[in-house]
């Protein structure tokens, strides 16, 4: 009897959608996107360091803002990762898997929001909207990354749902927490609370009552506000602000063009599928029609405010900074999809559109991305880290012209945080020393801009990225032995490792040099 | 008055479409440029060896290429920064107010004013000085904002 109640046709469909999302988000998660970007590695290693020592990589005890490379990122995601790293270990799968799981939860929040919005609607139509949300390129891309923005986006969705339920105290508390999750939310969340107050005209007394928990959560920020670290990513209003703001609403950007940064986009696909333009139109019409209702006003408010941090940031069409837009956009598109499903002929069109979307996604994400974006995702640093670890008696210099290799090495080798902190020393003036630092010496590794004239005079291994490669004639002239090369799919070198031969330089390289290749 | 306004705008649409046609460096959608050939070749090479055959068939399909090209051309002009570039930005608030004032009766005019310019851009391409064909649409929205009051 109990099972009969649970095993309904609807529940089975719901489960099927969740399972397909799980498959989509976890399939080859540790190898696609290829490599592990430094912004992911730095979050993961600092969580590992907090777990082992209670301090971050610079030796700061439980920081509020994590220095990372000088970006002073809000640290809630780092602390959130700690128990997962304790249970599942430090790996690419753990870090990305947490976000994949959170993104699935945002889908469930979206479904609940839609249920609140359209209580009389056919539940299967809502399920189809949920499936389209899971299938959206913007959702998939951010679900499969280990960035803090996905965690902040989850908090934002939760707050939006609580706002729709008019549980204001809880909503403001979550919004307040999200300011500790990612930079854009530090501006967005207070703005939402403020505009919400003016739009829905609450009594000041009630409003203050709702704000009390949110206010107490902000106490660490009030302490931080007088330090330079708090203002590292501060923005200012520019003339181009309106144009940047409009980019997030232009159909050409959201349905046709990819993000300008190849590391933040899927090749040859925009953040939404082309066909989602039509649900957006229908959904917008519905929103405009019902604009006098509270919940529709809330959607408009969220949509108009969410790109503001990205527009202020002076970056052209940075989709990661405007990730909060995904939620209001998805609600509007879901409304449009549900409207369209009322037309019988269009209903059957979805039988073609969804498989075609899966084809486009497979082509761009699972075929193009792993090869086309190897360079942008720091492919090869895992292998190099293993190689460096296998040769503890050799001295290595890695060129810092593009990558941030130290954090990748720490992550992939699970370098002891205690040992690293001892070797590097504890950073004084943690919250005021805001300079970007990439170079450093620890273990048998040195990270700096390679000075070829001087560095070839010592016996060591020089590792260059593809920004600085050499012809075979140059290699021969400097008496270097190529000991490994890591290539992309075209055969172009992503990394090259050379063993120096200072003793041969004196004899004009007169000796046979062998070479072995690392595969 | 309303009907006359709609007819008036449909009438100015014709010279605007003509002007757009005359000022555009025509690039027929069915002719592939060298850059597009390069991209096609690049894409085929990205398929892993077991899927190379499928990739070859998919990427070499003329309709598949035409589909992506027409998508680009369809969405290219739907860019607020292009339509409201520089001083044209002053039309934007009125455009948005006009958008909120759309009634069911206006939908046919809206469809015609949007559809024909988009169709033209799709066929001949978008390399020209301005999006002339979209001006009636923008001015229509702006005027609607005032006239309804």
Please report the DSSP string for A236-271 in residue order. ---TTHHHHHHHTT-HHHHHTPPPSSGGGS-TT--S
Question: Is the Cβ pair B51, A367 closer than 8 Å?
Answer: yes
Q: Does A358 touch chain B (CB under 8 A)?
A: no
Give a yes or no: residue A249 inside a domain.
yes
B97 or B46: which leads in pLDDT: B46
Residue of B nearest to A257 (CA): B72
On whether residue A518 sits in a domain, the answer given is no
Among the partner residues B68, B75, B89, nearest to A252 by beta-carbon distance: B75
Give the chain A residue nearest B49 (alpha carbons). A367
For chain B, give the mean pLDDT: 80
> In chain B, what is the greatest distance between 2 CA atoms, to the nearest angstrom?
66
- pLDDT at position A465 is 82
Among A138-147, A215-224, B49-58, B123-132, where is mean pLDDT lowest?
Answer: B123-132
Its ipTM equals: 0.84
| A256 closest CB neighbour out of B55, B72, B99 | B72
Domain-located, residue A63: no
**Whole-model pTM above 0.90?**
yes
A154 with A212, same domain: the answer is: yes
- Closest by CA to A279, choosing from A357, A166, A165, A189, is A357
A250 with A337, same domain: the answer is: yes
Q: Classify residue A71: in a domain, yes or no.
A: no
Interchain contact, A372 vs B46, CB within 8 Å = yes
Nearest by CB: B81 against A243, A255, A268:
A243
Of B47, B71, B100, which is closest to A274 when you measure between CB atoms? Answer: B71
Test A489 with B45 for CB contact under 8 angstroms. yes
Give the residue from chain B lying closest to A488, CA to CA.
Answer: B46
Instruction: Give the A:B interface size as CB pairs under 8 Å.
Output: 56
**A372 vs B contacts (CB less than 8 Å):** 46
Question: CB-CB: which of A242, A250, A371 is closest to B78?
Answer: A250
In angstroms, rounded to a whole number, what is the distance separating the alpha carbons of residues A517 and B102?
A: 68
CA distance A508 to chain B (A): 42
Say if A252 is an interface residue toward chain B (CB within 8 Å): yes
Query: What is the pLDDT at residue A344?
Result: 83
Q: What is the DSSP string of A441-487?
A: EETTEEEE---HHHHTTSS-EEEEETTS---HHHHHHTT-EEEEEEE
**Phi, psi at A461, each rounded to 5°:** -110, 130
Q: For residue B19, report the phi and psi dihedrals to the nearest 5 degrees.
A: -65, -40
Which DSSP symbol is given to A513?
A: -
pLDDT recorded at residue B117: 81
Q: What is the number of structural domains in chain A?
A: 2
Q: Is residue A5 part of a domain?
A: no
Interfacial A residues in 197-236 facing B (CB < 8 Å): none
Residue ranges of alpha helices (H) inside B24-126 are 34-46, 52-60, 62-75, 80-83, 91-100, 107-124
Total domains present in chain B: 1
The whole domain housing A274 covers 91-372
Interface check for A363 against chain B (CB to CB < 8 A): the answer is yes
Q: Which residue of B has its CA nearest to A291?
A: B100
Which pLDDT band holds residue B139 (cuts at 50, 70, 90)? Answer: confident
Contact B79 A243 (CB under 8 A): no
| Per-residue pLDDT at B14 exceeds 70 | yes
Q: Which of A320, A338, A372 is the last residue of a domain?
A: A372
pLDDT over 50 at B142, yes or no: yes
* Domain identity same for A386 and A493: yes
Domain boundary among A312, A344, A372: A372
- One domain, residues A395 and A293: no
Q: Is there a single domain that holds both residue A191 and residue A340?
A: yes
Q: How confident is the model at residue B131 (pLDDT cuts 50, 70, 90)?
A: low
* Domain shared by A397 and A343, yes or no: no
Q: Domain boundary at A350, A372, A394, which?
A: A372
CB contact under 8 A, A249 and B80: yes
In this predicted structure, what is the pLDDT of residue A519?
37
Question: What span, in angstroms and rounded, lies between the C-alpha atoms of A275 and A256?
Answer: 11
Query: In chain A, what residues touch B75 (CB-CB under 8 Å)?
Result: 251-252, 255-257, 274, 277
pLDDT for A174 equals 97
Residues B54-91 as b/e (b if ≥16 CB within 10 A, e otherwise) read: ebeebbeeeeebeebbebbbbbbbbbbbbbbeeebeeb
- pLDDT, residue B12, reads 79
The answer to whether residue A32 sits within a structural domain is: no
Q: Are residues A336 and A473 in the same domain?
A: no
Do A365 and A390 share a domain, yes or no?
Answer: no
**Which residues of B make CB contacts under 8 Å with A?**
43, 45-48, 51, 55, 58, 68, 71-72, 74-82, 84, 89, 92, 99-100, 102
- pLDDT, average across residues B46-66: 91
Residues B67-118: pLDDT tens digits? 999 898 888 888 888 877 777 777 777 777 777 777 777 778 778 888 888 8
Instruction: Tell if the CB–CB gap between A274 and B43 is shorter than 8 Å.
Output: no
Task: Point out the residues of chain A with pLDDT beneath 70.
Answer: 1, 234-239, 314-315, 467-469, 510-519
Tell which of B36, B38, B43, B46 to mutate to test the A interface (max A CBs under 10 Å): B46
Query: Both A98 and A203 in a single domain?
Result: yes
- Asked if pLDDT for residue B2 goes beyond 60, the answer is no
Q: Do A250 and B46 touch (CB under 8 A)?
A: no
**B41: confidence class by pLDDT, cuts 50, 70, 90:** very high
- Does A189 contact chain B (CB < 8 Å)? no
- Is A144 domain-assigned? yes
Domain membership of residue A65 (yes or no) is no
Q: What pLDDT sits at residue A514?
A: 46
Q: Which of B58, B65, B78, B92 to mutate to test the interface with A (most CBs of A within 10 A)?
A: B78
Query: Which of B45, B74, B100 lies nearest to residue A288, judging by beta carbons?
Result: B100
- Domain containing residue B27: 2-147
Q: Which residues of A touch B87 (CB under 8 A)?
A: none
For A365-399, the pLDDT digits (tens) are: 999 999 999 999 999 999 999 999 999 999 999 98
Best probe of the B interface among A252, A268, A269, A372, by most B CBs < 10 A, is A252
Q: Which residues contact B126 (CB under 8 A, 6 or more apart)?
A: B24, B73, B76, B77
As a three-state string, the secondary structure of A32-101 is CCCCCCHHHHHHHHHHHHHHHHCECCCCCECCCEECCCCCCEECHHHHHHHHHHHHHCCCHHHHHHHHHH
So what's the pLDDT on residue A467? Answer: 64
| Token digits of residue A349 | 């069109």
- Residues A303 and A249 reside in one and the same domain: yes
């Amino acid at each position: 009897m109990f099972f009969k109640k649970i095993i309904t046709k609807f529940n089975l469909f719901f489960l099927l959608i969740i399972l397909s999302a799980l498959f989509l988000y976890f399939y080859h998660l540790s190898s696609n996107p290829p490599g592990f970007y430094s912004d992911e590695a730095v979050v993961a290693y600092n969580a590992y360091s907090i777990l082992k020592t209670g301090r971050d990589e610079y030796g700061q005890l439980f920081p509020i803002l994590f220095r990372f490379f000088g970006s002073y990122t809000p640290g809630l995601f780092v602390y959130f990762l700690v128990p997962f790293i304790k249970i599942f270990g430090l790996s690419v799968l753990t870090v990305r898997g947490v976000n994949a799981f959170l993104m699935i939860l945002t889908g469930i929040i979206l479904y609940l929001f839609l249920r609140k919005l359209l209580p009389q609607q056919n539940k299967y139509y809502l399920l189809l909207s949920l499936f389209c949300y899971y299938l959206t390129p913007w959702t998939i891309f951010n679900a499969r990354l280990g960035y803090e923005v996905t965690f902040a986006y989850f908090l934002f969705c939760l707050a939006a749902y609580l706002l729709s339920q008019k549980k204001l105290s809880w909503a403001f508390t979550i919004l307040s927490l999200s300011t500790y999750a990612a930079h854009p939310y530090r501006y967005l969340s207070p703005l939402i609370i403020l505009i919400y107050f003016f739009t829905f005209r609450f009594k000041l007394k009630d409003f203050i009552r709702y704000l009390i928990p949110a206010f107490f959560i902000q106490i660490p920020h009030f302490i931080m506000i007088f330090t330079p670290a708090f203002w590292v990513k501060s923005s200012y209003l520019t003339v181009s602000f309106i144009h940047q703001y409009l980019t997030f609403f232009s159909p050409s950007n959201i349905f046709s063009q990819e993000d300008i940064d190849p590391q933040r986009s899927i090749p040859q696909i925009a953040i939404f599928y082309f066909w989602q333009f039509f649900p957006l139109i229908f959904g917008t019409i519905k929103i405009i029609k019902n604009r006098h209702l509270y919940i529709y006003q809330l959607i408009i408010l969220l949509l108009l405010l969410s790109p503001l941090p990205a527009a202020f940031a002076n970056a052209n069409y940075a989709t990661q900074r405007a990730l909060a837009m995904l939620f209001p956009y998805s609600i509007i598109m879901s409304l449009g999809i549900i409207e369209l499903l009322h037309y019988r002929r269009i209903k059957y069109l979805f039988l073609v559109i969804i498989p075609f979307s899966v084809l486009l996604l497979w082509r761009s994400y699972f075929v193009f991305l792993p090869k086309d974006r190897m360079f942008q995702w720091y492919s090869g640093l895992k292998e190099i880290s293993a190689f460096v670890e296998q040769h503890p008696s050799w001295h290595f210099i890695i060129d810092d012209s593009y990558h941030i290799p130290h954090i990748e090495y720490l992550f992939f080798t699970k370098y002891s945080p205690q040992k690293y902190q001892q070797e590097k020393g504890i950073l004084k003036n943690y919250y005021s020393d805001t300079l970007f630092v990439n170079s450093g010496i620890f273990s048998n590794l040195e990270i700096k801009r390679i000075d070829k004239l001087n560095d070839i005079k010592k016996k060591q291994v020089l590792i260059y990225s593809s920004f600085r490669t050499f012809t075979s004639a140059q290699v021969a002239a400097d008496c270097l032995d190529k000991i490994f090369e890591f290539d992309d799919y075209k055969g172009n070198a992503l990394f090259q490792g050379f063993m120096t031969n200072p003793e041969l330089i004196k004899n004009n390289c007169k000796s046979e040099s062998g070479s072995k290749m690392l595969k | 008055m309303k009907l006359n306004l709609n007819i008036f705008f449909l009438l100015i649409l014709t010279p605007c479409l003509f002007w757009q046609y005359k000022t555009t460096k025509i690039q027929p959608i069915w002719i592939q440029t060298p850059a597009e050939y390069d991209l096609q070749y690049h894409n085929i090479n990205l398929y892993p060896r077991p899927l190379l055959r499928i990739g070859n068939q998919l990427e070499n399909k003329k309709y598949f290429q035409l589909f992506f090209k027409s998508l680009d051309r369809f969405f290219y002009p739907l860019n607020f920064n292009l339509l409201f570039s520089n001083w044209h930005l002053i039309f934007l608030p009125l455009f948005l107010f006009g958008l909120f004032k759309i009634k069911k009766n206006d939908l046919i005019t809206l469809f015609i004013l949007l559809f024909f310019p988009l169709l033209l851009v799709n066929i001949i391409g978008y390399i020209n000085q301005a999006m002339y064909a979209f001006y009636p649409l923008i001015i229509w929205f702006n005027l609607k904002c005032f006239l309804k009051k």
